[in-house]
């Protein structure tokens, strides 16, 4: 069924009128706006581009739309109206210069995490300038965005990735293969297990992670997150949501060489708690909280003491 916003506009005085691509997108944007979708115009353009087989909305519209365009576009708009994530509908998510495949059951990469990746990339690049190939580990890797960004942007980087979800590590391998990126190892395991990457203990230059960190009583408001991201990737465990982030700290403490860097995403309300955890454990210096793209406190940055 066509959304109401273009149900009427495609009929004029009882005659069917062929809509242009711009009119379809405008009508879809109105439907998504009414549904409370956060970025209705951008999502409408992205869905139209997907139906046209394009990664981006065309600057110049095609001379003619495919015969099945309206039906396919309407079906996708309806699913987005019901708050199914855009990334699930189009099958990919942008992350830095990569277009990552996304799948149901695996956490969808977010733009905010690109800043976490940037700090890790900058540190790995600094190691490379010392004429040494950096060793980087991404914990709780999800679709593998940060591991793949480091591996593709820092020449010579030896990058490892792990996640508790087999679906996530399978997707990380698929994304690596799609871009021809070689990762040293992709492992399914529990970050709380001290044997994970034990062979790397004391040799890693950068540990980067976006672990689950939501407290159990803070269910996300957005349906796209609450109803579609896996709970394993959302809730960090414990009353404060920091059980898994604490495990990341512990893992980083054994993996990093003296002077190595930990970069870990957290909620904007957890900056002080994350710093306190690092200070309480000892062995860390230059402990700080860094902002994300919007200026919110979203990551712990700490250096392993020399």
Average pLDDT of the segment spanning 169-189 = 98
Output b/e per residue, 105-135; b: 16+ Cβ within 10 A. bbbbbbebbbbbbbbbbebbeebbeeeeebb
Assess whether pLDDT exceeds 90 at residue 45.
yes
- The residue out of 48, 82, 116 marking a domain boundary is 82
Q: Is residue 164 domain-shared with residue 222, that is, in the same domain? A: yes
Would you place residue 3 in the very low, low, confident or very high pLDDT band (cuts 50, 70, 90)? low
Number of domains making up the chain: 2
Q: Is residue 76 domain-shared with residue 124, that is, in the same domain? A: no
In a domain, 87, yes or no: no
Residue (of 255, 261, 258, 305) closest to 283 by Cα position? 305
Asked if 297 and 288 count as a contact pair (C-beta separation under 8 A), the reply is: no
Q: Is residue 168 domain-shared with residue 259, that is, in the same domain? A: yes
DSSP string over 110-124: -TTHHHHHHHHHHHH
Q: Give the domain CATH number at 242.
A: 3.40.50.150
Average pLDDT of the segment spanning 20-47 = 95
Residue (of 49, 51, 89) closest to 70 by Cα position? 51
In a domain, 100, yes or no: yes
Q: What is the pLDDT of residues 273-287, one digit of tens each?
A: 999 999 999 999 999
Average pLDDT, the chain: 93
In a domain, 46, yes or no: yes
Strand-pair partners of 264: 209, 300
Structure confidence at residue 59 (pLDDT): 82
- The residue out of 57, 82, 107 marking a domain boundary is 82
Q: Is residue 27 domain-shared with residue 149, that is, in the same domain? A: no
Would you place residue 13 in the very low, low, confident or very high pLDDT band (cuts 50, 70, 90)? very low
Assess whether pLDDT exceeds 80 at residue 303.
yes
Number of Cβ within 10 Å of residue 177's Cβ equals 11
In a domain, 14, yes or no: yes
What element of type H or E holds 139? strand 135-139
Q: Is residue 23 domain-shared with residue 116, that is, in the same domain? A: no
Structure confidence at residue 61 (pLDDT): 79
Would you place residue 16 in the very low, low, confident or very high pLDDT band (cuts 50, 70, 90)? low
In a domain, 45, yes or no: yes
Assess whether pLDDT exceeds 70 at residue 188.
yes
Residues of the domain holding 264: 93-304
In a domain, 52, yes or no: yes
Assess whether pLDDT exceeds 80 at residue 257.
yes
In a domain, 295, yes or no: yes
Would you place residue 60 in the very low, low, confident or very high pLDDT band (cuts 50, 70, 90)? confident
Query: With pLDDT > 70 as the criterion, what percentage of the chain qualifies?
Result: 94
Measured CA distances, 28 to 11, 21, 68, 77 (Å): 16, 11, 16, 7
- The residue out of 32, 47, 82 marking a domain boundary is 82
Phi-psi region of 68 (alpha: psi -120 to 50; beta: other; left: phi over 0): alpha
In a domain, 291, yes or no: yes
Measured CA distances, 16 to 7, 10, 30 (Å): 10, 6, 21
Q: Is residue 77 domain-shared with residue 180, that is, in the same domain? A: no
């Amino acid at each position: 069924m066509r959304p109401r916003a273009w149900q009427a506009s495609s009929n004029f005085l009882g005659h069917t009128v062929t809509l242009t691509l711009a009119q379809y997108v405008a009508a879809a944007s109105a439907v998504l706006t009414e549904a409370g979708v956060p970025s209705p115009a951008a999502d409408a353009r992205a869905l139209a581009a997907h139906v046209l087989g394009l990664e981006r909305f065309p600057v110049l519209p095609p001379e003619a739309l495919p015969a099945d365009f309206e039906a396919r576009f309407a079906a996708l708009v309806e699913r987005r109206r019901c708050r199914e994530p855009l990334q699930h509908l189009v099958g990919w998510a942008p992350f830095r210069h990569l277009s990552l495949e996304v799948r149901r059951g695996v956490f969808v990469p977010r733009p905010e995490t690109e800043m976490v990746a940037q700090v890790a990339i900058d540190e790995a690049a600094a190691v490379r300038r010392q004429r040494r190939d950096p060793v980087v580990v991404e914990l709780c890797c999800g679709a593998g965005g940060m591991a793949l960004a480091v591996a593709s942007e820092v020449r010579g980087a030896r990058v490892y990735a792990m996640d508790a979800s087999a679906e996530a590590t399978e997707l990380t391998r698929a994304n690596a293969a799609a871009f021809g990126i070689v990762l040293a190892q992709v492992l399914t395991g529990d970050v709380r297990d001290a044997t994970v990457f034990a062979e790397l203990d004391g040799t890693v230059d950068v540990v980067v992670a976006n672990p689950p960190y939501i407290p159990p009583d803070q269910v996300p408001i957005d349906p796209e997150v609450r109803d579609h991201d896996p709970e394993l990737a959302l809730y960090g465990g414990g009353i404060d949501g920091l059980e898994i982030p604490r495990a990341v700290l512990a893992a980083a403490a054994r993996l990093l060489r003296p002077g190595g860097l930990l970069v870990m995403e957290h909620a904007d309300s957890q900056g002080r708690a994350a710093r306190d955890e690092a200070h309480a454990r000892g062995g860390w210096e230059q402990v700080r909280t860094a902002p994300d793209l919007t200026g919110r406190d979203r990551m712990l940055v700490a250096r392993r003491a020399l």
